[in-house]
A and B are shown apart, each in its own frame.
Chain A
Amino acid sequence: MLQTAFDTEPSLDAKEERDIYLSAFRFMLLARVLDDKLAALYRAGKIHGGVFLGRGQEALSTAVGISLREGDVFAPLIRDAAGRLAFGESVLDSVRTHMGSPHGPMRGRDGNVHRGRPREGLLPMISHLGAMISVVNGILLARRFQKKSGTVGAACIGEGATSTGAFHEALNQAAVEKLPLVLVIADNQYAYSTPKSRQFACDSLARKAPGYGVGVQTVDGTDLSECLKAAGAAISRARTGGGPQLIVANLLRLCGHGEHDVADYVDPKLMNSSLGRDCVKAAEEFLARRHWLDASQAAGLREDIVHEIEAAVAQAQREPAPDPFAEEWRAIASEHLCEGQPEHRRI
């Protein structure tokens, strides 16, 4: 999160603009390098379960995270490492959750992308697609009750999630209640292995927006500049009473569904098309063209990032694993109503 993001400043001076782009690029690169590190740890057998990366979606994800403010709500999905970092999640939270550290926010009870800090506005996703959108709605409705105005909630999904009932119910619900929801669809062409032609039959998901009565923008998801402008505008409109906003970003997933997936089903034509452009590279070139970041500065930035990530990994690796004997095994807050294990009962 930035103090000064696009949604608060209708016109930015050159220095502010540069600062935002540099900050955004830093989050994109941080997410990319962190993803690479997590992939390496996964291949080395250091991470149990899955690893799901956001390669190719850093521009869009960062744009959303960086355009939100403190007090806003963010429900990222599996490819939003960049947006999480931009929203304020620490590298350590990610590494600890991937490695199952009891000191992470999920304490080894859930892993990888299933992490968050709900009280700080960062929602931990469940695996069921579309399910987080109505939860964001609920937080926004609560704030209306509590007379807290001026905050927005953003939820990220992929194009596959638009096929769910949960997506439909929640977007419709947000529209009915005129909630300040920004719903971001990363149309990354494949839901796991299923091409989008098997997911929906309209020519663009943006067409759905008028049906729900919500505003919409379509962007090139590989272009940081377009993503920043669209996210800033959508968040600003939602914040100022414009009701729910939809963003549809066209891009390509530059990795498998998870690191277990070689993704040989991806059409090579797509990889060679403009959709397959690497947004991190494109952003770096953009910054270089503007003379905001030269090659040696970029190398220095990358070096700093590598150090930050290595430090977090080293710390998480030194931490103990969760202890099943120390685990409370209690799923409810009302301790006096906990049944526990039958074998622990007397008689």
Chain B
Amino acid sequence: MSLTYLEAIREAQARALRDDPRVFIYGQDVGAFGGAFKATKNLAVEFPGRVIDSPISEDAMVGMAVGAAIEGMRPIVEMQFADFSLVGFNQIVNQAATLYWRTNVPCPITVRLPFGGTSGSGPFHSQSIEAIYAHYPGLIVLTPATVEDAYSMLLEAVALDDPVIFCEHKFLYYHLKAEKLPDEALPVGKARIAREGRDLTIATYSAMVHEAIEAAKELSGDGWEIEVVDLRSVKPLDTDTIVASVARTGKLLCVGEAWPWGGVTAEIISRVTAEGFGLLDAPPQRLNAKETPVPYHPNLWAAHRPTARSVAAAARNLLRQ
């Protein structure tokens, strides 16, 4: 039996509901319909009354979750698309993210954001907004790249006493498969070496991990050994693992699907430069999406985001230095 990234998210929610009576799911179409992507398929039947359809009110959805968390519940909020979480942005960054610091009362909510580009989705169903949330103190931002991480990190997100922005990549929903669910996992906050190498480090996360691994395979044909660091969580960011990798390779390429201004890739370069400048044999580089909204047409979309091809090209440039 194999299961997809999306099924792993469904299974993690089922287990969280089964194991912890404090857990409930709140979101648009999540009930009998099972969610726009079917991430809550049959959960309303299995867990009656605990998988609740919300009105189209992202602000009130998050506010509701914060209140329930104050009262000891562990809500999971499903945003239909990450893009729509921006309507609930105020409650996430000003209410949820500040509650613990202001009052000492933890705010254990998980906000699931189906994010990232897929062909044909266009400007308002494709955004990668993890860096906006990571900017705010008080939030944890997770970006699983594998089926196993989607499962284990979602379970850990629900167990954590803080608001977690769980960025699940829609492009990985159906493509990615695993044979079984994991029995053990790296904890949140630890990055993973997705592929070992000695010539160059690619630090990346979520769907771009797979583009980076494809690029590394292509470059291995030319004799280059590329190390791919899968960040797993962008906040906290496991700077130690990245710096240790750069210590081995001397070169750093950061790849992200988000827009180029600021963001996770800029943050990594800033940290590695500040903390490990002497380890770098060449100026660190980064590769992001283009500085426009995410386009609709597949031809445009494929050129807008980093792909294995553009990652390989950026890596070659850096390797030549």
Residues of B within 8 A of A295 (CB): none
**B63 CB–A CB distance under 8 Å:** yes
Q: Is the CB of A138 within 8 A of B69?
A: yes
Residues of B within 8 A of A252 (CB): none
The residue on A at minimum CB distance from B163 is: A332
Please report the C-alpha to C-alpha distance between residue A106 and residue B61 in the assembled complex, in whole angstroms: 26
**A209 CB–B CB distance under 8 Å:** no
Q: Is the CB of B63 within 8 A of A347?
A: no
Please report the C-alpha to C-alpha distance between residue A142 and residue B74 in the assembled complex, in whole angstroms: 10
Q: Is the CB of B60 within 8 A of A134?
A: yes
Write the nearest CB–CB distance from A137 to chain B, whole angstroms: 5
Please report the C-alpha to C-alpha distance between residue A322 and residue B105 in the assembled complex, in whole angstroms: 19
Residues of A within 8 A of B227 (CB): none
Q: Which of A260-313 contact B (CB under 8 A)?
A: none
Residues of A within 8 A of B90 (CB): 128, 131, 166
Sorting the interface of chain B by its residue count into under 10, 10 to 19, 20 to 34 or 35 or more gives 35 or more
Q: Is the CB of A142 within 8 A of B72?
A: yes
A162-206: CB near B (< 8 Å → 1, else 0) gives: 000110011011001000000000000000000000000000000
B214-250: CB near A (< 8 Å → 1, else 0) gives: 0000000000000000000001110100010000000
Q: Is the CB of A131 within 8 A of B94?
A: yes
**A118 CB–B CB distance under 8 Å:** yes
Residues of B within 8 A of A333 (CB): 100, 106, 161-162
**A143 CB–B CB distance under 8 Å:** yes
Write the nearest CB–CB distance from A188 to chain B, whole angstroms: 24
Given A131-B91, A146-B72: A140 and B98 within 8 A (CB)? no
From A126, A142, A339, A347, B276 is in contact (CB under 8 Å) with: A347
> A-B contact count, CB below 8 Å?
152
Binds B, one of A12-20, A49-57, A109-117, A234-242: A109-117
Residues of B within 8 A of A331 (CB): 97-98, 100-101, 137-138
Write the nearest CB–CB distance from B53 to chain A, whole angstroms: 9
Q: Is the CB of A124 within 8 A of B59?
A: no
Q: Is the CB of A173 within 8 A of B235?
A: no
**A334 CB–B CB distance under 8 Å:** yes
B77-105: CB near A (< 8 Å → 1, else 0) gives: 00000000001001100110111111101
Please report the C-alpha to C-alpha distance between residue A12 and residue B56 in the assembled complex, in whole angstroms: 44
Write the nearest CB–CB distance from B28 to chain A, whole angstroms: 12
Residues of A within 8 A of B160 (CB): 334, 337
**B197 CB–A CB distance under 8 Å:** no
Residues of B within 8 A of A109 (CB): 101-102
**B9 CB–A CB distance under 8 Å:** no
Residues of B within 8 A of A165 (CB): 59, 87
Residues of A within 8 A of B237 (CB): 339
**A145 CB–B CB distance under 8 Å:** yes
B92-124: CB near A (< 8 Å → 1, else 0) gives: 001101111111011000000000000000000
**B55 CB–A CB distance under 8 Å:** yes
Write the nearest CB–CB distance from A14 to chain B, whole angstroms: 39
Q: Is the CB of B59 within 8 A of A134?
A: yes
From B91, B97, B140, B271, A334 is in contact (CB under 8 Å) with: B140
**B289 CB–A CB distance under 8 Å:** no
Given A116-B103, A124-B102: A141 and B162 within 8 A (CB)? no
Q: Is the CB of A137 within 8 A of B71?
A: no
Q: Is the CB of B189 within 8 A of A337?
A: yes
**A345 CB–B CB distance under 8 Å:** yes
**B147 CB–A CB distance under 8 Å:** no
Write the nearest CB–CB distance from A130 to chain B, whole angstroms: 8
The residue on B at minimum CB distance from A119 is: B105
The residue on B at minimum CB distance from A173 is: B60
Given A128-B90, A345-B239: A139 and B189 within 8 A (CB)? no
Please report the C-alpha to C-alpha distance between residue A116 and residue B70 in the assembled complex, in whole angstroms: 13
Q: Is the CB of A139 within 8 A of B70?
A: yes
Residues of A within 8 A of B101 (CB): 109, 330-331
Given A109-B102, A134-B64: A337 and B188 within 8 A (CB)? yes
From A114, A126, A145, A338, B95 is in contact (CB under 8 Å) with: A126
Q: Is the CB of B73 within 8 A of A145?
A: yes
Write the nearest CB–CB distance from A142 to chain B, whole angstroms: 3
Residues of A within 8 A of B63 (CB): 131-135, 137-138, 166, 169-170
From A138, A146, A332, A338, B70 is in contact (CB under 8 Å) with: A138
**B294 CB–A CB distance under 8 Å:** no
Please report the C-alpha to C-alpha distance between residue A170 and residue B137 in the assembled complex, in whole angstroms: 25
From B94, B102, B138, A106 is in contact (CB under 8 Å) with: B102
**A47 CB–B CB distance under 8 Å:** no
Residues of B within 8 A of A137 (CB): 60, 63-64, 67
5 more CB-based (< 8 A) A-B contacts, given A124-B102, A165-B87: A134-B60, A135-B66, A138-B70, A142-B73, A169-B57
- Contacts A/B (CB < 8 Å), 11 sampled: A131-B90, A134-B64, A137-B64, A139-B71, A141-B67, A142-B72, A145-B50, A170-B59, A173-B60, A333-B106, A339-B235
Which 4 residue pairs across A and B have the least CB separation, nearest first?
A138-B67, A134-B63, A142-B71, A169-B60
